[in-house]
Structure 1
Amino acid sequence: MTSETGVPRRTLADELRSWPDERLAELLRVRPDLLSPVPADLTQLATRAGTRASVSRALEGLDQFALQAAQALAVAPDPCPVEVLAALLPGGAERLPEALRALRARAVLWGGDDRLRLVRTAREVLAPGPSQPSATGLGPSLSEAAAGMSPARLQEILADAGLPATADPVSALAALRELFTDRSRLADLLEQAPAAATAMLEKLVWGPPYGEVSTTPSAPVRWLLDRALLLRSGPRTVVLPREVALHLRDGRAHRRLEPTPPEVPVRREFPTASVDAAAAGQALASLTAVEELLKEWSRSAPPVLRAGGLGVRELARTASALELAESQAAFWIELAYAVGLVASDGEADERYAPTPYYDEWRDLPESRRWAALVAAWLPATRVAALVGGRDAKGRTLAALGPGLDRTAAPTFRHRVLTLLAELPAGAAPDVEAVAERLRWERPLRASDQLRQRVCAATLAEAELLGVTGRGALASFARALTAGDRRQALTDVEKAAAALDPLLPEPLDHVLLQADLTAVAPGPLRRPLAETLEVLAEVESKGGATVYRFTSGSVRRALDTGRTAAELHNFLAAHSRTPVPQPLAYLVDDVARKHGRLRVGAASAYVRCEDDALLNEVLADRRSEPLRLRLLAPTVLAAQAEPAVLLARLREMGYAPAAESATGEVVLAGPAGHRTPPRSAPEPVPDGPPRPDARLLTAAVRAIRAGDLAATTPHRPKAPRQTPTGELPRTTSADTLATMQSAVLTGDAVWIGYVNADGAASQRVIAPIRVEGGFVTAYDHTADEVRTYPLHRVTGAAEITEE
């Protein structure tokens, strides 16, 4: 590619100067790290684009074939005609132009098709050097591998290869390169090789190209060394020159070229209605799982490990209480943390507990609660599937602990859902095929192990959340893939609105049965569900929930202040069947005993108006550990804490009630440990944020202005109607208007500025952005981008044209 004058462009900076503004903006969009801070000019932009960290990040955005094209360029001559590159990639000619466009768009490749040039740093990353093989499995070139070889040894090699002697080492290497790049002549030479020597070359041809030999090599190895078909890379190692390997590969840079993405086959297909029903049911189950987790932690908040996170035993205890596998429990715990429903309470004895937001979330409609879970899941960088594994130092990764963040997770998660959306409705894919597709699309984005784990975890978590049903993407969840990740919140709201009609209406009744159970044929309204959870024990879950009434559960309801009459009325009002006689008897029997004994704090005491009942307790052998003694006809003293005394008496079959210091019954409400207000954690950013269109336009304008200032001799022009040497003076409103106008037009302005030390100066700037009381501009005087407080600008004037 040449400039307008016909002279080939010599540097990447020259290439960037030829690009239109739209193309420069696209470069900054796909490589946002180049914007931090805004480069002063195109030379600085090109320099920054060639740094190792930036190039490595740019290569992570390539698909497998574009990466293979870059790898081939790294081992090709520099510059490389496109025809030579195509020969290295047989079978990829159709997609090669697209791959080159991707490389050029990221400024990893520049030059015309006749002179393709890979950025030097990219060449070093993809083909490290003589001591390391490239990603293609090719070793160093003949010139690199023979560097330092004595002239006499080169002449010996020429003679053994049947070539005439030359005058110097440079011409000797040139003669060998000419031999090795001539397919017919090199083939004739290899035909003379012993069979054992040919077998050795076959072992090295696809890499690694290095082999180990003894200090006294065998005859086949000596034959290869004498003709430079192998070259020494160390006292006991040899290397296969790149030119020889390419000949043995028939000119191919890669053993397996992958020009097209692998297909994602359909494993099974289901009717759409069946998928949506399964997904909607699982969406409701996800809400239940999170609620049960937080209710459990409200009652018994688990401690925070000293190093942070949840202990292995606490995870196992929580999983057992929720009747879930530990991996699923870890997922719900991490998701609740991401939503902001659970956090550390920050007290001396630090524990995890629900946050105040949990009470707000619980009162939302089902679809809104589900939307909150999904909105936190999609951008989450913490990978719950890693819990229980080991970090680089061999330490166990704990739920809610450090080391679980993987910045690539949101990208993979979004892409997995997009691939599901591209399949026919109701189609469930093969998990391994999805992971393989992700590998082709971003081979350098993460390790194969992490990619496969995140892919499998995404599909499993999507099923748990109700995003998929029976392995296929639900129709209402397709909204989650409609846009890019930046508008995920809007997409989640659309998905929740589509889910809402599929959710069953909460019921206001149960079916009471004679065996002291109640059956809830569907989800219950919150007040009914909360009361039943106190009045009865949950016996089984599923499409229908079964509750069992026991003496302990009825006593628990009476402890909250309800009376027997209130319990009878509640059961009659919310049952579609008559209240069974055994249940009515159970309520009356427990109520008759409830509260006759009163336990309070002395150390602890038992009070009762019935002398006979107190004597019965005192005579019971099971009360001996309590060390009771009669203080008065109606009071027993105990050598035990009130809570222990209450529990022991209840184990003995009594129904005592706790009382306060004033003698009033202490009502036992549901446990409700809460943390102070906590905000949900922010996902770990995956590099710099993507710039918006306004910032890109301003940045390109500033870079162009800086480049013009750097490459064109100029001097500031005198301001219109302003005496030389005096600072411009304008009102704050006029200054702001002048700055905003310059942002839109791209013109330079002349300003007076007073710094923090009170020193006044005149400057010529090109404003980029005006917001928050500051102006960001390219300063022609300082030759860099700066930010100035507007209150320190004495005035602004346009530059006059001469």
Structure 2
Amino acid sequence: MSNEAAWWCAASAPVPATVEDLAAGLTALPDREIADLLLARPDLLAPPSSSFTMLAARAGARPSVETALADLNAAVLAVAEAVVATGVQDPGLLGPALLLSSDDVAAHLATLRRLALVLDSGPVAGLVEAVGPHPLGLAPAAAPQEGRPDAPPPPSLQTLHATARSAASQHANSQRAAAERPGPQQAAARDATPLEDTPVLSPAALAVLDALTWGPPTGTLREGGQAPGAASLVERGWLERTQDESGTTRFLLPRRVALALRGGRLLRRPPTAPDPAALPIQDPATTADQSSRAAEEAVRLVAALVDEWGREGGPILRTGGVGVRALARTADALGLEGAPAARVIELAAGAGLLGLDDAGATWVPSTQVPLWRTATLPERWAPLAVAWACSARAPWLVGTRGEDGALRAVLGDGLETARAGSLRRRILLLLDSLPEGAVVTPTWVYEALTWARPRRPVLDGDVTGVLDETEFLGITGGGALSRAGRLLARSVRHETLLSSDGEADPRLLGALERALEEDLAAPVGLLLVQSDLTAVVPGRPEPDLAALLDKAATVESRGSALAVRFTDESVRAALDSGWSAVELRQALERWTPTPLPSALTTLIEDVARHHGAVRVREVASVLRVPDPATAAGLLAEARLKGLGLDEVAPGVLLATAPAGQVLRELRAAGLSPVLEDTSGRLLLAGDAVTARRGGPGVEPVRPGAVTATRRHRHSARELAVLVGRLRAGERARRDPAVPAGAATDPVHALAVMRQAQSSRSRLRLRLAGPDGVVQERRVRVLAVEAGRVRLADVERETELTVAVHRVVSVEEE
């Protein structure tokens, strides 16, 4: 057994620091360090404590300790567990055992002391409770093993495995030697010892040690089960066998045995974060190109969504959210799968571009859409990015089931989760801490986040979902943080995403717009049209050309060049937007260096001839069909039965379906209908909502049930006042006027008050006010609740509710 292992075996668990120890330590600190503690552990600020003793009772209790531990990384937590397990606070001893440098251990110990989790006398009681009965996977420090107090400790687990392998190899060699040349060599090989003085354990016994050495150190034998390897270990004194109250057999690996098997180490591997140096570095130009193209595509998809839902909105289910059919229709219109379409919908709603109609039954474009449409690409992208960073929505959960078993729907309350907003901020801050151009993967990010906060685990699917969003939105490009993404991350770090009125900070919006503008490639105003109805823009198209192609063509590929194809549907969409056939040809010829191919002009003229042959007027709904043959064909078409068509007059048909559905299904049947208002005026694409409501668009409505809150940041002056009250309250608590038998610590005081409630006896209570002034009351206890007590003042004949931390002392009369 190594010296290190022997030393650790002799170490014992510390006695937890008492409330009095912590109160004395806090009282001795300067005001500045008390203020830093309150800032580092904000749960101790609300409500404020009346004295250092009350503060110590709260700071040392498990609930507050758990809150503090949740923000600590794996290395600091390992040091905290080592202190709880061994009672040692010497960095020179802890460093080698934890596979950390002494300087790192010293820094982590300083963090634990600064957070009032560890004192010179030992860890606080709440830390011991939070770590649990098996810190670092070790059994509790206890008396020597029953029955075998002098049993020698085993060698290291690595040595035992090496011995077993050597024995197996020698046995195989002896078998071969016996078969080839029997004689004295056979006996010598058989009698050879693999490693001198090292026992050879069976595979079953080694499996038991493998399972228990690094924790947890206990195992339970199932009813009727067997543990063939345990018997030899119990016989050697390396394993304890006991039974619990129910008669179940339990095995325990004693602490000194586990430490010997570990070779004196407390951890299997160093508690270090994933190394950023292992990440590939991407050229900044590549990041800028990919992120800016993604940003442009995100804006285009949001605009396409607004157009689609302007024609036919997203109806809300009775259970909340938009249904699967509407999502599938929207995905088909955007040319996406269901998950990316849900992401676009949630992004648009989060940015305030959607709202509910007058009936509150359908999501439609909001009043912000017209202004957003007329803005430049960077001006349209920036509010989307800020809305995403502030969002608590999880679109990647669409289609999964919640805790109640119900399917989560897009724009439904089931997608609202606080962990989504926290994870977005954590990932942005993590990416900002990496070298410029570092390309991350979901696995690396998951490991880094898990190391940073092991007690706040994240789901792998959540990490992938957020990283997909950053790539889709252009916050990252090719896995590396973009210029605009870094600005967004730093705004998250300094909590400057929103202004005082709760809207996106104008300065941040301006900075994001400039950053994206710098990354965007120079626009190209050239369209090369082929005779096969395809066209290519050799670069990023100018805004007017991009808007034209978005309406008149179908995109086939995006990248360093834009490839599109002209089809019947795309040309019809351009005519729906208000162009005539002549205007569309002229608009295309503006960007082409040569005349348009005859195939394209013929396509435009052919679509224009049939465009508007059917006109849809939304009442719910009226179709005007001047051609009797066309009207008869509509009534006879089996695919249109769901529209509820009926001829009420020559050339006039009624439909029970809304106008958007009528348009969609007529187009699917091969027709080219157009939409008109009540006066017969042709409506352009995107005007359907205004016509339907007879007025301006609806007000923005952001989905979800969680309201964003801004945490109050205490100023230096406020903290100084709080520290002053703590000192005044502590002086009052230690006032000689307090009777010697009075209960002053919170635990004792609560016990006295509960007993007084049961016996209906009277108490003399001393309370500290907000200003530190102590007053005395004679009371009866009516109820003791979580963190407070309800009292009846017998002298003033009034009732009062008092927070427990304001009780200075309590005694029976």
Q: Which letter maps to 1:50? A: G
1:646-665 CA-partner distances (Å, limit 9, x unpaired)? 99999999988788777x55
Please say if residues 440 and 480 of structure 2, whose CA atoms lie closer than 8 Å, have aligned partners that are also in contact: yes
Corresponding residue SS for 2:347: helix
The match for 1:244 among 250, 257, 268 is: 257
Corresponding residue SS for 2:268: coil
1:469 aligns with 2:477: yes
Aligned to 2:773: 780
Single out whichever of 62-71 and 369-378 deviates more from structure 2: 369-378
The match for 1:71 among 46, 67, 81 is: 81
CA distance in 2, matches of 1:383, 1:657: 37
Please say if residues 264 and 430 of structure 1, whose CA atoms lie closer than 8 Å, have aligned partners that are also in contact: no
After superposition, residues 22-421 of structure 1 pair within 5 angstroms as 22-77=32-87, 85=94, 88-89=97-98, 91-111=100-120, 115=121, 117-127=122-132, 129=133, 134-143=134-143, 157=147, 161=149, 195=201, 199=206, 203-212=211-220, 221=231, 224=234, 230-234=240-244, 235=247, 236-258=249-271, 260-345=272-357, 347=359, 350-392=361-403, 394-421=405-432
1:696 deviates by: 3.4
1:220 deviates by: 7.0
Please say if residues 138 and 214 of structure 2, whose CA atoms lie closer than 8 Å, have aligned partners that are also in contact: yes
Aligned to 2:30: 20
1:670 aligns with 2:686: yes
CA distance in 1, matches of 2:215, 2:668: 74
Aligned to 1:711: 734
Aligned to 1:149: none
Q: Which letter maps to 2:394? A: V
CA distance in 1, matches of 2:730, 2:227: 60
Corresponding residue SS for 1:400: coil
Decide whether aligned partners of structure 1 residues 364 and 18 sit closer, same or farther in structure 2, where only a CA change above 3 A counts.
Answer: farther
The match for 2:517 among 491, 494, 500 is: 500
1:20-50 CA-partner distances (Å, limit 9, x unpaired)? 2221222122211111112222222222222
1:70 deviates by: 1.1
The match for 1:546 among 554, 557, 564 is: 564
Over aligned residue pairs, what C-alpha RMSD do you find?
Answer: 5.1
After superposition, residues 582-731 of structure 1 pair within 5 angstroms as 636=651, 664-667=680-683, 669-673=685-689, 674-678=697-701, 691-712=714-735
Q: Which letter maps to 2:59? A: A
Corresponding residue SS for 2:496: helix
1:372 deviates by: 1.4
Q: Which letter maps to 1:63? A: N
Corresponding residue SS for 1:778: coil
CA distance in 2, matches of 1:445, 1:362: 41
Q: Which letter maps to 2:392? A: T
1:781 deviates by: 4.7
Q: Which letter maps to 1:778? A: D
1:516-539 CA-partner distances (Å, limit 9, x unpaired)? 6776666667677667666x3535
CA distance in 2, matches of 1:73, 1:85: 9
Q: Which letter maps to 1:310? A: V
Please say if residues 572 and 579 of structure 1, whose CA atoms lie closer than 8 Å, have aligned partners that are also in contact: yes
1:95 deviates by: 1.2
Please say if residues 266 and 429 of structure 1, whose CA atoms lie closer than 8 Å, have aligned partners that are also in contact: no
1:126 deviates by: 0.8
Corresponding residue SS for 2:102: coil
CA distance in 1, matches of 2:573, 2:129: 72
Please say if residues 13 and 46 of structure 1, whose CA atoms lie closer than 8 Å, have aligned partners that are also in contact: yes
Single out whichever of 298-307 and 366-375 deviates more from structure 2: 298-307
1:131-179 CA-partner distances (Å, limit 9, x unpaired)? xxx2522123325x98xxxxxxx6xx3xx546xxxxxxxxxxxxx9xx9
Q: Which letter maps to 2:464? A: A
CA distance in 1, matches of 2:375, 2:400: 36
Aligned to 2:5: none
Please say if residues 91 and 102 of structure 2, whose CA atoms lie closer than 8 Å, have aligned partners that are also in contact: no
Please say if residues 265 and 433 of structure 1, whose CA atoms lie closer than 8 Å, have aligned partners that are also in contact: no
TM-score by length of 1: 0.68
Please say if residues 677 and 683 of structure 2, whose CA atoms lie closer than 8 Å, have aligned partners that are also in contact: no
Please say if residues 418 and 481 of structure 1, whose CA atoms lie closer than 8 Å, have aligned partners that are also in contact: yes
Q: Which letter maps to 1:677? A: P
Single out whichever of 353-362 and 558-567 deviates more from structure 2: 558-567
Q: Which letter maps to 1:32? A: P
Decide whether aligned partners of structure 1 residues 672 and 240 sit closer, same or farther in structure 2, where only a CA change above 3 A counts.
Answer: same
1:83-128 CA-partner distances (Å, limit 9, x unpaired)? 66557535442311111111112221122xxx3x11112111212x
Corresponding residue SS for 1:385: helix
Structure 2 residues not aligned, in runs of 5+: 1-16, 161-196, 498-504, 690-696, 739-766, 778-813
1:465-509 CA-partner distances (Å, limit 9, x unpaired)? 222222223345433344615134566643432221332566788
Aligned to 1:719: none
CA distance in 1, matches of 2:663, 2:198: 98
Single out whichever of 372-381 and 388-397 deviates more from structure 2: 388-397
1:549 deviates by: 6.5
CA distance in 1, matches of 2:199, 2:529: 91
Please say if residues 322 and 412 of structure 2, whose CA atoms lie closer than 8 Å, have aligned partners that are also in contact: yes
Decide whether aligned partners of structure 1 residues 54 and 570 sit closer, same or farther in structure 2, where only a CA change above 3 A counts.
Answer: same
CA distance in 1, matches of 2:319, 2:531: 52
Decide whether aligned partners of structure 1 residues 21 and 569 sit closer, same or farther in structure 2, where only a CA change above 3 A counts.
Answer: same
Corresponding residue SS for 1:486: coil
Decide whether aligned partners of structure 1 residues 40 and 554 sit closer, same or farther in structure 2, where only a CA change above 3 A counts.
Answer: same
Corresponding residue SS for 1:310: coil
Q: Which letter maps to 2:345? A: I
Please say if residues 380 and 683 of structure 1, whose CA atoms lie closer than 8 Å, have aligned partners that are also in contact: no
1:59 deviates by: 0.8
The match for 1:11 among 21, 43, 65 is: 21
1:459 deviates by: 3.3
Aligned to 2:451: 440
Q: Which letter maps to 2:554? A: V
Please say if residues 462 and 468 of structure 1, whose CA atoms lie closer than 8 Å, have aligned partners that are also in contact: yes
Decide whether aligned partners of structure 1 residues 311 and 58 sit closer, same or farther in structure 2, where only a CA change above 3 A counts.
Answer: same
Please say if residues 355 and 366 of structure 2, whose CA atoms lie closer than 8 Å, have aligned partners that are also in contact: yes
Q: Which letter maps to 1:279? A: S
CA distance in 1, matches of 2:402, 2:662: 47
Q: Which letter maps to 1:471? A: G
Corresponding residue SS for 2:771: strand
Decide whether aligned partners of structure 1 residues 666 and 464 sit closer, same or farther in structure 2, where only a CA change above 3 A counts.
Answer: closer
After superposition, residues 789-800 of structure 1 pair within 5 angstroms as none
CA distance in 2, matches of 1:695, 1:441: 31
CA distance in 2, matches of 1:693, 1:137: 42
CA distance in 2, matches of 1:699, 1:381: 33
